[in-house]
Structures are given as structure tokens and as C-alpha cells.
Amino acid sequence: MRKGIHSASFVFVFTDFIYLVFVFTDFIYLVFVFEKGCDLMKSSFRLCTICTVFILTLSFFLSMTPSAHATASIWINKGNTSEKVIALTIDDGSDGGNYAKILQVLDKHKVKAAFFLTGQGTENHPQNIRNTVAKGHEVGNHSYNHPNFTKISAIQMKTQLSRTESIVKKTSGKTTKPYFRAPYGTLNSSVLQTVGNEGY
């Protein structure tokens, strides 16, 4: 699952917005200079107030823009190829049972796989995760403790993803992005959008 952000359009909008702030500020200054009987303190206060409003508006705009432009994740269950191949994927359990044996079998047959890791599992058997990455296998995010993503809030989903990403990266030096597998395989539009916003 992958995410795209329209960063170029954001930069142009941001630049135009800053330009308008400066133009508007110059206009206020000219009004101040030419207006007869204008009180210095009153105009200065008015100018500061206008600038403050613009800065607050800009801050709100910047905080909202990334989420607005993030694309939802895409559920992929089949590769786009005519070759007779399969993608071998493995979900890691928190107990790590048979993990070392699986790595040995894959290594023996020179097969690469993708391991979808939970944060708890990575904490419980970190050496297995290091060995996985060292042998050239892919890793993906499978949440921290395997909750049903359709039954938790967007904030909880973000926490599950970011916590696991941090643990896996600290343990192995490799990111889980852009791959995510939903616990129990349960998905809906809200899950896809939230996961997409987080870079998966």
C-alpha cells in the first residue's frame, strides 16, 4: 500500500499565500501614510491585528494541507503480471514460534518473502527481525498488538502504525513503509484513508 502527496501544488499555494500577505501589508502601510488625521498607535495596533489573523490562518492551513492531499491506500491481493509466480508473505505472531525455522527453510531454497511484523512481536524476539532484514527479506507493518482496525479510531490506528514503525526501525534499521497488512484482513474506506495518510 502506498501514499502520494501533491507536494508541488502545496508549495505553489503556500508561496502565493505569503505573497498576498506582503501585498496586503504594503496596502495597509500606504493607507496609514496617506490617511489624514490617522493616529499612529491606532494604525499600528490595527496592522498588528491583521498580521496576527493572517499568521493564524496560515498556521491552520499548513496543519490541514498534508491530510487533505494524502491519498487512500490501495488493497492489493493480486500482482499485475502474467508470469506464474507467487508472493510469499508471512504474518509474525508475538510469540515468534517457528520463526527461526521459517528463515532456515527460506534460506535453504533461496526464496525471499515479506514478513508483516507486529510491534509486540518485534519487542519479544528482536534478533529474529534483525536476521530477517539481514537475509534480504521485506518487512511490513501489521500493527502493534493486532486489533481489528475497523473497530478502533483513526488516532488509535495512527498510534498502532507509528509505534510499530518506530520499534521495527530501531530494531532492524529498516522501515515498514509502504507495506501494511490489516489484522484479520478487515478493511473499510476509513481504514484505507487513515493508513494512506500515514504513508502506507
Q: For 144-158, write each residue's pLDDT tens digit.
A: 999 999 999 999 999
pLDDT in tens, 39-59: 544 555 455 456 555 555 555
Report the percentage of the chain scoring pLDDT > 90.
57
Q: Residue 77 has what pLDDT?
A: 83
Kindly list the domain boundaries of the chain, sorted by start residue: 7-69, 89-197
**How many helices (DSSP H) and strands (DSSP E) are in the chain?**
7, 3
Q: Write the class of the CATH domain 89-197.
A: alpha beta
**The pLDDT value given to residue 78:** 84
The pLDDT-based confidence of 62 (bands split at 50, 70, 90) is: low
CB 152 within 8 A of CB 173: no
Residue whose C-alpha is closest to residue 196's, from 68, 65, 49: 68
The band of 66, judged by pLDDT with boundaries at 50, 70 and 90, is very low
40-47: long-range pairs with CB below 8 Å, 24+: none
C-alpha cell at 73: 491506500
List the alpha helices (DSSP H) in 35-186: 40-69, 99-108, 119-124, 126-134, 154-172
Q: What is the pLDDT of residues 8-46, one digit of tens each?
A: 333 333 344 444 434 444 444 433 434 444 454 455 545
**115, pLDDT greater than 80:** yes
SS3 79: coil
What does the pLDDT read at residue 33? Answer: 38
